[in-house]
């Protein structure tokens, strides 16, 4: 029995009532299981589609261009239900991508003759604010980690985040046997989009990880970073660690993603090839990495303006005359 009623060749069907929408969703997720979507991808798409279904049902709207436009606008304004706040442009675009993927599947499965998301504008993307740490801020954070009650874990954690630019979701999924200290490498089994990759780190991070694992022995399948209570570190508890160390260091705005920004900018400042940085960070498009290039280039321009060896030498000699 088909999930959807096939579209007749001479008909135009650009929307679905909610009952058929629910049936189509079941078919889409079944295909996801066959294609072996990652658990994170499956959960993320289920959450978004439940959110859409609730929105449409509350307003007696079909899965069509009008309902989808209203939903995307509600996400931007924060009034799609449940007292939620307005979403960032990046989050709204993420939802747009998921809804478009579902609409494309409906066309392929002949539930619809055309994807209604084609008539829903893609939200305008605003480049994210890139705010890397200053050298002094980073030194203060490392010092605060060294004074904490979990100094070996916190030091290894900050070194690892700032050196690899790892995403918070990837870090909390790491297991001990994903890390090869002798090779200075770690395997990200399921990065963004379900893509695996290998990340690398330097000698100081190796030493910090060695001290941490020596201090807190673990089995190969255990989480690499544990919470102070002994369980796996979660994204929320990781954020709490960053905030605590930021407060102890007197550095504002410390959060896991800021270490990712800092890693990208520092790698590029230190002449890291853009495609190597792109691979390390797990970017699927070079345009994403180029956002950091602009910040790094701006830093180098300011550095040259204030620390030019020739300008400073000659200006110093002129002052002695």
The CB-based long-range contact list for 175-179 (8 Å cut-off, 24+ gap) reads: 175/220, 175/221, 175/222, 175/223, 175/224, 176/213, 176/218, 176/219, 176/220, 176/221, 176/222, 176/223, 176/224, 177/220, 177/221, 178/224, 179/209, 179/224
> How do residues 110-129 score in pLDDT, each as one tens digit?
999 999 999 999 887 666 66
Return all residues near 249 (Cβ < 8 A) that are at least 6 apart.
137, 140, 141, 143, 144
Closest to 173 (Cα-Cα) out of 148, 150, 205, 199: 199
Sorting pLDDT into bands at 50, 70 and 90, what band is 224?
very high
To the query of whether residue 192 is one of the catalytic residues in this protein, the response is yes
Instruction: Respond yes or no: is residue 124 known to be catalytic.
Output: no
Average pLDDT of every residue of the chain: 85
Q: Select the highest-mean-pLDDT range: 88-97, 150-159, 312-321.
A: 150-159
- Give per-residue pLDDT as tens, 280-294: 888 777 777 777 766
Given CATH 1.10.150, say whether it is the number of domain 18-119. yes
User: Do the domains spanning 18-119 and 135-302 agree at the CATH topology level?
Assistant: no
Which of 96, 153, 167, 266 is the catalytic position? Answer: 167
- Mean pLDDT to the nearest integer, 251-274: 87
Structure tokens at 21: 């929408």
Q: Which residue in 184, 192, 197, 218 is the catalytic one?
A: 192
Would residue 94 show up in a list of annotated catalytic residues for this protein? no
In whole angstroms, give the CA distance from residue 96 to residue 125: 12
CA distance 216 to 267: 30
Query: Crossing angle for the helix pair 135-147 and 235-249, nearest 10 degrees?
Result: 110
pLDDT of residue 168: 92
Residue 11's pLDDT band, with cuts at 50, 70 and 90, is low
Domain parsing of the chain, residue ranges: 18-119, 135-302
In this predicted model, what pLDDT tens digit does every residue of 47-74 receive, in sequence order? Answer: 999 999 999 999 999 999 999 999 999 9
3-class DSSP state of 197: strand
Catalytic residue among 40, 189, 257, 269: 257
Please name the CATH architecture into which domain 135-302 falls.
Orthogonal Bundle (1.10)
> Nearest-CA neighbor of 185 among 197, 173, 172, 193?
197
- pLDDT, one tens digit per residue, over 176-186 is 999 999 999 99
DSSP-assigned letter for residue 276: H
Q: Which residue, among 170, 183, 41, 51, has the nearest Cα to 101 in the 3D structure?
A: 41
Q: Decide if pLDDT at 299 tops 90.
A: no
Q: Residue 294 has what pLDDT?
A: 64
Half-sphere exposure of 247 toward its Cβ, with a 13 Å CA cutoff?
6
pLDDT digits (tens, 9 = 90+) for 18-41: 999 999 999 999 999 999 888 888
Q: What is the separation of C-alpha 206 from the centre of its chain, rounded to a whole number of angstroms?
A: 24
Residue 147 has pLDDT above 70, yes or no: yes
Return d(Cα 68, Cα 56) in angstroms, integer.
Answer: 8
Confidence class for position 303, pLDDT limits 50, 70, 90: very low
Average pLDDT over residues 253-270: 88
Residue found under tokens 């959060």: 255
Q: Give this prediction's pTM.
A: 0.65
Say which of 45, 260, 261, 266 is annotated catalytic: 260
Q: Which of 148-157, 225-234, 259-268 has the highest mean pLDDT?
A: 148-157
279 Cα distance to chain centroid: 14
Q: Using a pLDDT cut of 90, give the percent of the chain over it.
A: 53
The helix or strand, by DSSP H or E, that contains position 185, with its residue range, turns out to be strand 185-188
User: Is 260 in the active site?
Assistant: yes
């Amino acid at each position: 029995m088909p999930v959807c009623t096939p579209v007749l060749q001479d008909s135009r069907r650009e929307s679905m009532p909610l009952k058929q929408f629910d049936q189509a969703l079941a078919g889409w997720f079944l295909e996801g299981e066959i294609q072996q979507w990652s658990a994170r991808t499956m959960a993320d798409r289920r959450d978004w589609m439940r959110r859409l279904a609730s929105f449409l049902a509350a307003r007696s709207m079909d899965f069509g261009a009008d309902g989808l436009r209203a939903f995307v606008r509600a996400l931007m304004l924060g009034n799609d239900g449940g007292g939620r706040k307005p979403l960032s442009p990046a989050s709204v675009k993420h939802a747009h991508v998921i809804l478009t993927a579902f609409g494309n599947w409906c066309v392929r499965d002949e539930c619809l003759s055309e994807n209604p998301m084609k008539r829903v504008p893609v939200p305008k993307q605003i480049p994210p604010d890139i705010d890397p740490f200053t050298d002094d801020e980073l030194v203060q954070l490392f010092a605060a980690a060294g004074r904490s009650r979990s100094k070996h874990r916190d030091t290894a954690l900050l070194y690892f985040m700032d050196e690899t630019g790892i995403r918070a979701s990837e870090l909390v999924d790491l297991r001990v046997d994903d890390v090869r200290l002798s090779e200075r490498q770690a395997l990200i089994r399921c990065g963004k989009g379900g893509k695996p990759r290998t990340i690398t780190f330097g000698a100081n991070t190796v030493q910090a990880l060695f001290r941490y694992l020596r201090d807190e022995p673990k089995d190969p399948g255990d989480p690499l970073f544990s919470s102070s209570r002994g369980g796996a570190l979660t994204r929320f508890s990781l954020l709490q660690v960053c905030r605590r160390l930021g407060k102890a260091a007197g550095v504002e705005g410390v959060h896991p993603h800021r270490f990712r920004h800092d890693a990208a900018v520092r790698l590029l400042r230190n002449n890291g090839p853009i495609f190597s940085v792109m691979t390390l960070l797990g970017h699927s498009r070079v345009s994403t990495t180029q956002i950091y290039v602009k910040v790094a280039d701006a830093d180098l321009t300011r550095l040259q303006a204030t620390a030019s060896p020739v300008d400073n030498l000659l200006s110093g000699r002129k002052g002695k005359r």
